Amino acid sequence: MPQYKRPNRIILGLVALGLLAGVALTANPAQAVDATGPYYADPAWDQKLPAATRFVVLTNWNSEAVLDKETALVWERSPADDFHSWAEARLHCTSRETGTRKGWRLPSIHELASLLHPLNTGPALPAGHPFVLVLPIVNVHWSATTNAVTDTQVWFVNFDNGVVDEFAPKTGGEGNAWCVRGGMNAAAY
């Protein structure tokens, strides 16, 4: 009989560790605080939040960045209004420092399009959004997502009219870069 005690203890120990791990996985997420109170940075893609509660201007980032509570992404509050080729836009975001933070990147088409409000135009963003936009003559914002078939075109969003399209050439075209932090983006070449 003593030979069975050891395996039972191991099994009980593994069950106890599993229970503890389960508790740790279901515990409340860490909260961050800004001037208006606590908010959760976990994505809530299943929710439709009004702009007043969806977007949080991050005052501890010199109010230069905005947390989107639906996606848990942090966006530049005021994207650059200068034009870049697609490769330059990627480099622009990679080398960007906003709110005294580096680690910015060009967003995927899904992330960029998540900012759109399909019923609004000029800009096609939710009413009451906190972004400070200087709209250039051409309001095409590059994404990091390339066309999966040809690999010569890039997906973009036009925030003037809400168009999401893939007809921008990877080379030769010009557009804007709206940089983002957090999450994962589509593979870019």
Q: Are 57 and 98 in contact (CB under 8 A)?
A: no
Collect the ranges in the chain with pLDDT lower than 70.
1-44, 134-138, 184-189
Mean model confidence pLDDT for the chain = 75
Q: How far apart are CA 155 and CA 146, in angstroms?
A: 6
Q: How far apart are CA 70 and CA 41, in angstroms?
A: 9
pLDDT for the residue 57: 94
Q: How far apart are CA 108 and CA 56, in angstroms?
A: 21
Report pLDDT digits (tens) over 96-131: 999 999 999 999 999 999 999 888 877 889 999 999
Q: Tell me the domains of the chain and their CATH numbers.
A: 31-181 (3.10.100)
Q: Are 70 and 43 in contact (CB under 8 A)?
A: yes
Q: Are 68 and 57 in contact (CB under 8 A)?
A: no
pLDDT for the residue 4: 39
Q: Of the candidates 143, 144, 142, which has an alpha carbon nearest to the alpha carbon of residue 187?
A: 144
pLDDT for the residue 98: 93
Q: CA separation (Å) from 38 to 69, 72, 104?
A: 12, 14, 24
Backbone angles phi, psi at 29, to 5 degrees: -70, 160
Between vectors from CA 106 to CA 70 and to CA 61, what angle results, nearest 5°?
A: 60
Q: State the Rg of the chain over Cα.
A: 22
pTM above 0.75, yes or no: no
pLDDT for the residue 131: 92
Whether the bond into 123 is cis, omega within 30 of 0 = yes
Q: How far apart are CA 42 and CA 40, in angstroms?
A: 6
